[in-house]
């Protein structure tokens, strides 16, 4: 019983007034790591990735925000919105740096690994690459997407783009140099979540009935597991690669063994379908975003003896929350708001 309880009490992050539809963790930076969330309430939020403490809200979109991301150093954020725009923000001040107008809803955005480029896609069925060093220059467009773009990501050190569509199965890969589709990873249904693993080895996809893992270099299917419910999102544990999480319609966050597909834990707490799931960069926790408007941060649970040995100092707080907050002073921050959030989290526990 104790063990179960330890695994299943999440940090509950309130703040969004509508469903949370995308989550993105930054890599570990000298100031710790960060979590950004996109919501239909049009106000993306930045948090301390470890504690879940709210740092700031990016204000300026006039419609649902479908996608969000941070650059490698967590100094800039990007968002894709139903207001027909993608925006790039200063993640320290919350100011808009660039606003890129589109002709229809923008569903996906992603910074290149080198942070110089921004990828966008949406209902227009066009994948665009903006050069952030020349934001006024027209974007480059790669070969037309066969359908409305749902997800987009970079891989192979920014040499390849992957994207899935809302209205058809499969993940397409474009060679950035030629702008042509070079490969399609076939799935029965539309891929609602795609993730390139931290080590660049795997592409993780969720297509409703299955979670699949593909070899990111040779594009072969490595694993495919049928899910107990319709899932919308999946994420692979980044450190040991031995487990993955998936969530969707049944409102639960399921944890599976990567090698066997066996369910090893099931976290209950959300009051609506789970739309997005991501592991933190060190794998010690993972976040879920739901129709219920909350983000829940779950601890991965006790490490196996082998993992503990490989991990060394597990669970140590790298950077005190105060230090992180201090860095973001003056960015819509209110101690009062923080205290209230802590109180609410305590009540929810």
CA dihedral 225, 202, 140, 77 (to 10 degrees): 90
Question: Is 309 within a domain?
Answer: no
> How many domains would you assign to the chain?
1
Question: Is 221 within a domain?
Answer: yes
With cut-offs at 50, 70 and 90, classify the pLDDT of residue 306: low
Note the pLDDT tens digit of each residue in 21-69. Answer: 999 999 999 999 999 999 999 999 999 999 999 999 999 999 999 999 9
Question: Is 348 within a domain?
Answer: no
- Write the Ramachandran bin of 9: left for phi over 0, alpha for psi from -120 to 50, otherwise beta: beta
Is 271 in contact with 10 (CB distance < 8 Å)? no
- 325 has pLDDT over 70: no
Considering the entire predicted model, what is its pTM? 0.86
With cut-offs at 50, 70 and 90, classify the pLDDT of residue 88: very high
Note the pLDDT tens digit of each residue in 178-190. Answer: 999 999 999 999 9
By the 10 Å C-beta count (0-12 exposed, 13-18 middle, 19+ buried), 192 is classed as buried
- C-alpha dist (Å) from residue 6 to 10, 127, 262, 267, 314: 9, 44, 21, 11, 16
In sign, the C-alpha dihedral spanning 11, 15, 16, 19 is: positive
With cut-offs at 50, 70 and 90, classify the pLDDT of residue 172: very high
CATH number of the CATH domain containing 19: 2.130.10.10
- 308 has pLDDT over 90: no
CA angle 253, 254, 255 (to 5 degrees): 125
For the chain, give the percent of residues with pLDDT over 90: 83
Domain that holds residue 136: 13-299
Q: What's the CA gap between 149 and 124, in Å, rounded? A: 8
Q: What's the CA gap between 71 and 63, in Å, rounded? A: 23
Min mean pLDDT across 57-61, 159-163, 327-331 is at 327-331
Question: Is 118 within a domain?
Answer: yes
Hey, how many other C-beta atoms are within 10 angstroms of the C-beta on 140?
Answer: 13
> Closest Cα to residue 145, out of 117, 169, 164?
164
- Grouping H, G, I as helix, E, B as strand and the rest as coil, residue 337 is helix
Q: Please tell me the predicted confidence (pLDDT) of residue 301.
A: 75
Question: Is 312 within a domain?
Answer: no
- 316 has pLDDT over 50: no
Is 37 in contact with 289 (CB distance < 8 Å)? yes
Question: Is 317 within a domain?
Answer: no
Question: Is 342 within a domain?
Answer: no
With cut-offs at 50, 70 and 90, classify the pLDDT of residue 143: confident
Residues in the chain: 349
Close Cβ partners of 290 (under 8 Å, ≥ 6 residues apart): 19, 20, 251, 270, 271, 272, 273, 274, 275, 296
Q: What's the CA gap between 207 and 98, in Å, rounded? A: 33
Note the pLDDT tens digit of each residue in 99-138. Answer: 999 999 999 999 999 999 999 999 999 999 999 999 999 9
In sign, the C-alpha dihedral spanning 183, 188, 193, 198 is: negative
**Largest distance between two CA atoms of the chain:** 59
- 314 has pLDDT over 80: no
- 340 has pLDDT over 60: no
Q: Please tell me the predicted confidence (pLDDT) of residue 166.
A: 97
In sign, the C-alpha dihedral spanning 20, 54, 15, 8 is: positive
With cut-offs at 50, 70 and 90, classify the pLDDT of residue 307: low
Question: Is 171 within a domain?
Answer: yes
């Amino acid at each position: 019983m104790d063990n179960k309880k330890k695994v299943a009490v999440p940090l509950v992050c309130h703040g969004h007034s509508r469903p949370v539809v995308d989550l993105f963790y930054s890599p570990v930076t000298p100031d710790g790591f960060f979590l950004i969330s996109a919501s239909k309430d049009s106000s993306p939020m930045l948090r301390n990735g470890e504690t879940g403490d709210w740092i700031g809200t990016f204000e300026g979109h006039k419609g649902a925000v479908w996608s969000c991301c941070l650059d490698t150093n967590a100094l800039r954020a990007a968002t894709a919105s139903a207001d027909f725009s993608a925006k790039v923000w200063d993640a320290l001040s919350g100011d808009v740096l660039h606003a890129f107008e589109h002709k229809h809803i923008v569903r996906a955005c992603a910074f290149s690994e080198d942070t110089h480029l921004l990828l966008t896609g949406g209902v227009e069925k066009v994948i665009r690459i903006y050069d952030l060093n020349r934001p006024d220059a027209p974007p480059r467009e790669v070969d037309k997407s066969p359908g409305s773009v749902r997800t987009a990501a970079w891989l192979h050190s920014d040499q390849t783009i992957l994207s899935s569509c809302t209205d058809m199965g499969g993940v397409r890969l474009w060679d950035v140099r030629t702008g042509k589709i070079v490969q399609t990873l076939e799935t029965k249904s539309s891929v609602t979540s795609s993730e390139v693993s931290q080590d660049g080895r795997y592409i993780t996809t969720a297509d409703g009935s299955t979670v699949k893992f593909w070899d990111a270099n040779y594009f072969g299917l490595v694993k495919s597991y049928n899910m107990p419910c319709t899932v919308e999102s999946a994420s692979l544990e980044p450190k040991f690669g031995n487990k993955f999480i998936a969530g969707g319609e049944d409102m639960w966050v399921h944890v599976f063994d990567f090698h066997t597909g066996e369910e090893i834990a099931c976290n209950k707490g959300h009051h609506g379908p789970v739309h997005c799931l991501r592991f933190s960069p060190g794998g010690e926790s993972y976040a879920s975003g739901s129709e219920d408007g909350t983000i829940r941060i779950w601890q991965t649970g006790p490490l196996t003896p082998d993992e503990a040995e490989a991990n060394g100092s597990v669970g140590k707080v790298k950077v005190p929350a105060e230090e992180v907050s201090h860095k973001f002073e003056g960015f819509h921050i209110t101690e009062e708001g923080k205290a209230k959030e802590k109180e609410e989290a305590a009540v929810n526990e």
